[in-house]
Amino acid sequence: MQSTSSTAKKLERATISLLSLRRFESQDLSRRGDLQKNKKKIKTKNLKKKMVLLGKVVVTGVSLLLVVGVVVGVIAAVNNSSGNKESTETVSASRKAVSQFCTTTDFKDACINSLNSTTSTDPKELLKAVILAPQDSIKKLFNLSDSLIVEANKSNDNSSKVALEECKELLDYAEDALQTTLSAVGDSELLTLQDRVNELSIWVSAVISFQSTCLENFKGENNTFKTAIQDGMIESRHLTSNALAVLSELSNILKSLGLQINAPAPTNSRRLLQVDEDGLPTWFSASDRKLLAAARKKGGHLRPNAVVAKDGSGQFKTIQAALDAYPEKLQGRYIIYVKAGVYDEYITVTKKQVNVFIYGDGKTKTIVTGSKSNTKGYNTWKTASFSVVGTGFIAKNMGFANTAGPDGHQAVALRIQGDMAAVFNCRIDGYQDTLYTQAFRQFYRNCIISGTVDFIFGDGTAIIQSSMIIVRRPNENQQNTITAQGRDMDREFSGLIIQGCTIVPDKALWYDRFKIKTYLGRPWRAQAFTVFMESTFGDFIQPDGYMPWAGTNNMDTCKYYEYNNRGPGAVTKKRVKWPNVKVIGKREAAKYTVAVLLKGFDKYLRHSRIPFTSWFVHSR
C-alpha cells in the first residue's frame, strides 16, 4: 500500500511535468512566428520540423495525461483502501459489541438478528436498540389482531372479537412501556445507568405482563384466534426477554467493553422496590408527602382541584365527572376530594391522567363500588370497579369494592397498572380476584384487603405493608387462596411482598375455618414470586401452605419465601416440598425489605409523615 507521503511526491512530479509542457508550448509558438516570416524559402523543410514538433507535443501531452491518471488512481486506491479498512474495522467493532450484548441472552440468534442493522459501537445506542427490538414485533401483532377481528366478525365469534380488541389495547400499553424505557435511557448518562437498571427492568417486565393478559382473555381450549396470537407473540416475547437479560447484566457487559460504570454498593439481590431513610417509597416528592400528611385529618391544609359529593354540595356529583375535568396541561397534582357516600360507578384513571391524588372521608365512608364479573361476560381485567392506568396515582382514606359476590367468580375491586402507585389507609373488598396488582411499582400501607380465591394477584412489583388481610367464606366446594402472583418469565422484575401484615378469617368463616381450607397462595403463572415476612398467620392457614395451580407444573418453577412470621399458621414444618418453597434467614430477607425493594422513590415521599417501616418490623 502506498503511503500518503509517496502519493504527494508523485503528485509533485506530475505538476513539474505540466509546467514543462507549458514552457515547451510557448517556445513552439515563437518558432511558429519565425516560420511564417520565412515560409516561402524553407516551406518544405520547416513543415517537416513543424510536424515533428507537433508530434512531440502530442506525445508529451498524452504522457502527462497518463502520469496524472496514475496519480489520481494512486490517490483513489489509497483512499479506497483506507476507507475499506476503516469500514472493516467499524463492522468488526460493531459485531464485537453486539456479541457482548447478546451473549447473556436466552435467545441469542434473535438478539443478533435484531441488531444486524446496527453499525454503532456506542453501548448506549446498542442498549436502546435492544430495548426497541420488541417494538416491531408488537406492531405486527397489533396488525394481526386487526385482521383477526375481521375473521371473528365473519364467524360471529363475539367473545374472540372482544378479546382481540382488548389485546390491541394491551399491546398499546406494552409499546408505551418500551417508549418510557427508551426515553429514560436517552435521558441518562451511560456510566450512571446502573442506578436505573431496576426501574428500566420493571418497565420492560410490564410488556410481558400485558402480553400474558392478552392471551388470558380468550375463551375455550382450542381457540384458533388465541393460537394465532400466541404464535405471533413468540418473537416479541423472546426479544423482550433478551432486553431484560441485557439490563440485568449491563454492568458486566459494559466492563467487557472497557467501560467502568458507577455501580451502587453490591447486594445479593435484585432490588424490586426502594425507599428512603424515612421508610417511604423514594418516588414520592416532598410536596406529595405534605399532601399525604395533610390528608391525615379532615379539614387539613389540602386544597383540592375538585370536590365530589353525591348530595350536590361539591363541584361534581360523580368521580368520573371530576376526572373528566382533568386539565390538559396540568403541572403538579390533580387532587380530588370525595365526600362520604357510596359511588356506584366504574372509574378508570387514564394514562393521560397522571399524578392523580384522590382522598375521601374514610375507608368505610367514601366507597367506590361495582358488580362486574366474569360470569356476566367480562374478562377479568375489565371487571374492576376502579382502574388506574396513569402514573403517580395516590389514594387515601377510600374504599373500593366489588359486590358481585362469590357467584361472580373473577370480580376485581381495584386494578392498578400505573407506575408509582401508592394506596394508604384504604379498604379493598371483594371475593375472587379482589386486588389486581397488574403491572409496575405499587405500594400499600395500613389497608384492609378481603376476599376468597386468589384475591391478591397480578404481575406488578408490589409491596403490602402493615395491613390486615381478611379471608372470607367462599362458595361450597371452594378453597381460599390468598395470593396468586403472575410472573411469567424468570427474567421479569416483579413480585409480591407481604410484610408486617395480619391474616385473619372473616366472621362468616370463623366457625368453619378448619373445614374450609385456606392457603397462602398458588402459582398463577410459571415463575410466580411471593415473599411473606414478619406477618402474623391465624390458625386456619393450612400446614402445607400452598396449593398447585391445576393443570400446570408451576410448582416446579415458582418461588415462595417465608421469614420470621408469627402465629399458629406460621409453622413451616409441613410446608409443600416444592423446589423453591423455603424459609429464609435474615440476610436473605433483607433483600426484600422496603429499604431495598422500592427502587426509585426518593423524590416521591421524602418528607411525608405517613408511618412506614423501611427495614424489619421486628427487632430479631
Q: What is the pLDDT of residues 18-67, one digit of tens each?
A: 344 344 444 444 444 444 444 444 444 444 444 444 344 434 444 444 44
d(CA 379, CA 218): 9
Count Cβ atoms within 10 A of the Cβ of residue 418 and give its class: 0-12 exposed, 13-18 middle, 19 or more buried. Answer: buried
Cα 616 to chain centroid, rounded: 29
d(CA 365, CA 59): 108
The mean pLDDT value for 148-169 works out to 96
- Residue type, position 401, single letter: A
| pLDDT exceeds cutoff 50 at 576 | yes
Structural contact between residues 442 and 416, judged by C-beta atoms closer than 8 angstroms: yes
Share of the chain above pLDDT 70, in %: 75
pLDDT of residue 520: 98
The mean pLDDT value for 232-245 works out to 96
pLDDT of residue 272: 58
| pLDDT exceeds cutoff 80 at 15 | no
Range ranked top by mean pLDDT from 118-122, 245-249, 433-437:
433-437
> How would you list the strands of the sheet with 394-396, edge to edge?
306-308, 334-338, 356-360, 394-396, 421-424, 441-445, 461-465, 495-499, 529-533, 559-563, 581-583
pLDDT of residue 530: 98
- Residue type, position 247, single letter: L
pLDDT of residue 116: 85
| pLDDT exceeds cutoff 70 at 478 | yes
Structural contact between residues 210 and 177, judged by C-beta atoms closer than 8 angstroms: yes
Structural contact between residues 591 and 616, judged by C-beta atoms closer than 8 angstroms: no
Model confidence at 121, pLDDT cuts 50, 70, 90, reads confident
| pLDDT exceeds cutoff 60 at 457 | yes
How is 144-160 classified by DSSP, letter by letter?
HHHHHHHHHHHTT-HHH
pLDDT of residue 543: 98
d(CA 521, CA 82): 65
Instruction: Pull the grid cell for residue 153.
Output: 366478525
294-326 pLDDT tens trace: 655 554 557 899 999 999 999 999 999 999 999
Share of the chain above pLDDT 90, in %: 63
Decide: helix, strand or coil at residue 112.
helix
| pLDDT exceeds cutoff 50 at 593 | yes
State how beta strands 480-485 and 518-521 pair.
Answer: parallel
Which residues are CB-contacts of 46 (< 8 A; sequence separation ≥ 6)? 35, 38, 39
pLDDT of residue 537: 98
pLDDT of residue 600: 53
Model confidence at 197, pLDDT cuts 50, 70, 90, reads confident
pLDDT of residue 601: 53
Q: Which residues are catalytic?
A: 454
CA distances from 221 to 212, 224, 486 (A): 16, 9, 20
| pLDDT exceeds cutoff 70 at 261 | no
d(CA 415, CA 347): 10
| pLDDT exceeds cutoff 50 at 5 | no
| pLDDT exceeds cutoff 70 at 148 | yes
| pLDDT exceeds cutoff 70 at 293 | no
> Higher model confidence: residue 192 or residue 278?
192
Which residues are CB-contacts of 268 (< 8 A; sequence separation ≥ 6)? 587, 588, 591
pLDDT of residue 452: 98
Nearest CA-CA partner of 287 in 301, 273, 276, 308:
301
Query: Which residue is listed with cell 435467545?
Result: 107
| pLDDT exceeds cutoff 90 at 96 | no
| pLDDT exceeds cutoff 80 at 563 | yes
Residue 227's Cβ-side half-sphere holds a number of Cα atoms within 13 Å equal to 5
Model confidence at 599, pLDDT cuts 50, 70, 90, reads low
Average pLDDT for the chain: 83
| pTM for the whole structure | 0.82
Decide: helix, strand or coil at residue 275.
strand
pLDDT of residue 411: 98
Question: What is the separation, in whole angstroms, between the first and last Cα of the chain?
Answer: 75
State how beta strands 356-360 and 453-458 pair.
Answer: unpaired
373-427 pLDDT tens trace: 999 999 999 999 999 999 999 999 999 999 999 999 999 999 999 998 999 999 9
Q: CB neighbours (10 Å) of residue 312? A: 8
pLDDT of residue 11: 40
